[in-house]
Amino acid sequence: MRYSALSIFKQALAGNLGWKPVWREPEPKPHYDVIIVGGGGHGLATAYYLAREFGIRNVAVVEKGYLGSGNVGRNTTIVRSNYMLPGNEPFYEFSLKLWEGLERELNYNVMLSQRGIISLYHNDSQRDHYTRRGNAMMMEGVAAEQLDRETLKRMLPFLNFDHARFPIVGGLLQRRAGTARHDAVAWGFARGADRLGVDLIQNCEVTGIRRENGLVTGVETTKGFIGCNRLALAAAGNTSRVGTMAGLKLPLESHVLQAFVTEGLKPCIDHVITYGAGHFYISQSDKGGLVFGAEIDGYSSYAQRGNLATAEHVMEEGVTMIPGLSRVRVLRSWGGVMDMSMDGSPIIDRTSIENLYLNCGWCYGGFKATPASGFCFAHLIARGESHHVARALRLDRFERGFPIDEAGAGTQPNLH
Amino acid sequence: MASLITCPHCGTRPKEEFSIRGDATPVRPAPMAPDEAWNDYAHVRANPRGRIREHWQHVSGCRRWLVVERDNFTHEVFAVTDATESRGGAR
C-alpha cells in the first residue's frame, strides 16, 4: 500500500481496519545471492539499496531479535555532517543528502527535522579548532556558520554563558543538521526492502559461518543452514562475535553508550546543541521529551545497560550547560552496544575472505550514517569496489598507518 | 558494571576510584618484531563476549596497575590481581 494523505483519509472512513502489516514474515529459502547479517538500520538500508540501486533482489536479512532491536532504536537520533577529516566529511555529507530525500524515496515518514546543530566552544583555542572544522566543511561544499556570543545569547538564552570555568564564547552551526525518528528509519527501509522482494528473517540468530575452499558458502542459523553467494556483516556491537565465526580478528572493542529522555515539556530547545567543555548533546523530541547523551562508559561491555556513575556525570554536564535542567525529571535511560573502532571511524570494506564483506566500527555515530552506509555497502557488495565517498573507510588503514582519527585521541577504543 | 572492586592492596573500594585502560590480553612485542606483530598488539582485539581480562589502575588509591578479570555481559568480577603478578599482564 502506498501511503498518502488520501490513503489516510480512506482508512479513516473505513474505521482504520484496512491497514496491513508492512512486511512479510517469510521462512528462509535454501539459498540467496546475498545474506546480510543484522536487521538494524544499516543492514536494512543495505538490503534496500542492493535491491533498489543495484538490482540484486535475491537477498535475505537475518536478524537474531526483531527488526531494529539494536542501536537504531537506542540512539539520540541526531543527523549531521559537520565532520572535519577528508575521509569522513564527504561520506557524511552524502548521507545527509540521502536523508533529505529519504521520505520521498521510501514513501515513509522518517520525521526528518532539519533544526540545525550548534556546537558550543568555550575558549580561544577551541574557537580556532571549530573555525578550522567549519572551513574544512566548506571546502567539501557543506555550509557552516560561526555564531558569536551575542547571537547565541539571543538564540539560546537558557545556556549558562558565564560559567566560571567554561564560559560560552561562541558556536559552530550547521543548519541542515537535525534529528529523525529513529525507529521509523528502520521500518521505512524494512518496508522498502520487503516491497522489492528482500526476505527479512527475524528471530534467526547466526550461529556459524560455513566455508569451503576459502569461500563462504552460507550461514548456520537457529532456523537451519542458509546458503549464499556473498555474505555481508552489519552486526554492529556483535561484529567481533560474528567475525570470529569466519576466523576474523578485527580492530574493534564493544562498549556501552547510554542515552536519556526526560518527561515531556513544552517546546524549549529548538536545535541540537552540543557542549564543548565535555561531550554532551541534547535535543527535544516531537513528543516534548529532552533527549540527551554523552560519552561511552569507557569499559568493554556487551550489556545494553550502563552504570550510574556515568549517568550522574551526564546529568552534571547537562546542568552545567543548561542550569534549568536541574528541575526536569528524567523518565528513562537505555544503553546500546557500540562497535568502537580504534580511530573512532567506521569500516566498510572487503575482508581476507573474498565473498565476505564487512560494515562495522560505527562507534556511537552510526545513526546519521544509516542511508550512506547502506548505499556504500550495497555498492561494495554489488560492484566489488568501494563507493568513492567510502574509499577511506578501509579495514587495513590501521596497519597501513592511515587512521581517520577525528578526535585526535590515538588508537585507543575507549577514547573516541 | 560492578560497583565495588577489591583491590589486592587497598581492599574493597568503589569502582570510581579506578581508571580502565582496556584489554590486558595483547602482549607487547619485541622492539624489532615485524609490523604485523605490532599491528596485532596495537589495533586488533579478540573482543569476546564473556570472561575478559582488563588493565585497571587504582588512580585514587595505591596507584598500582591491576588486572581485573570479569564478565563483560553479566558484569561479574572474578579476580583482581596486581599486574606484575598476573600472567600475561603488564610486562
Is the pLDDT score of B78 beyond 80? yes
pLDDT of B88: 54
- Residue A180 burial by Cβ neighbours in a 10 Å radius (0-12, 13-18, 19+): buried
Within a domain: residue B19? yes
Using a CB-CB distance cutoff of 8 angstroms, which residues of chain B are in contact with residue A413? 22, 45
Q: Which residue range forms the structural domain that includes residue B61?
A: 4-85
Residue range B59-63: average pLDDT? 97
- CA atoms of A292 and A260, how far apart (whole Å): 5
User: How far, in whole angstroms, is CA A146 from its chain's centroid?
Assistant: 26
Rounded to an integer, the average pLDDT of A322-337 is: 95
What pTM was estimated for this model as a whole? 0.95
Q: What is the pLDDT of residues A248-283, one digit of tens each?
A: 999 999 999 999 999 999 999 999 999 999 899 999
CB contact under 8 A, A249 and B75: no
Largest CA distance in chain B: 42
For A:337-376, CB contacts with B below 8 A are 342
Q: Looking at residue B87, what is its pLDDT?
A: 63
How much is the average pLDDT of B80-90? Answer: 76
What class has domain A24-78+84-93+99-106+182-252+343-415?
alpha beta
- The percent of chain B in helix, strand and coil, each rounded to the nearest 5, is 15, 35, 45
Is residue B9 within 8 angstroms of chain A, CB to CB? no
> In the predicted model, what is the mean pLDDT of chain A?
96
- CA separation for the pair A122, A126 (Å, rounded): 7
- What nine digits make up the cell of A212? 569451503
Residue ranges per structural domain of chain A: 24-78+84-93+99-106+182-252+343-415, 114-177+254-341
Task: For A42-59, write each residue's pLDDT tens digit.
Answer: 999 999 999 999 999 999
Non-local CB neighbours of A287 within 8 Å, separated by 6+ positions: A264
- Chain A contact set for B47 (CB, 8 A): 240-241, 250, 252-254, 300
Q: What is the CATH number of the domain that holds B80?
A: 3.30.2270.10
Domain contains B90: no
> What tens digit of pLDDT does each residue of A96-107 get?
999 999 999 999
Compute the CA torsion angle A301, A305, A308, A314 (nearest 10 deg): 90
Q: Exposed/middle/buried for A17, CB within 10 Å: 0-12, 13-18, 19+?
A: exposed
| Inter-chain residue contact B46 with A300, CB threshold 8 Å | no
Cβ–Cβ below 8 Å for B47 and A253: yes
Does ipTM surpass 0.90 in this model? yes
CA-wise closest residue to A240 among B70, B9, B47: B47
- Give all strands (DSSP E) within A222-308, no chain letters: 224-233, 252-264, 272-275, 280-284, 289-300
Q: Which positions in chain A touch B73 (Cβ < 8 Å)?
A: 301-303
- What percent of chain B has pLDDT above 70? 95
Does residue A182 surpass a pLDDT of 90? yes
Cβ contacts from A onto B, under 8 A: 74
Question: Do residue A399 and residue B1 have CB atoms under 8 angstroms apart?
Answer: no
Q: Check: CATH 3.30.9.10 for A114-177+254-341?
A: yes
- What are the grid coordinates assigned to B14, written together? 568503589
Torsion angles phi and psi, residue A385, rounded to 5: -140, 155
Q: For A35-67, b where at least 16 C-beta lie within 10 A, e where not — what string?
A: bbbbbbbbbbbbbbbbbbeeebbbbbbbbbeeb
Residue B91 counted as domain residue: no
pLDDT for A13-42, tens place per residue? 999 999 999 999 999 999 999 999 999 999
CA nearest B43: which of A233, A349, A353, A394? Answer: A394
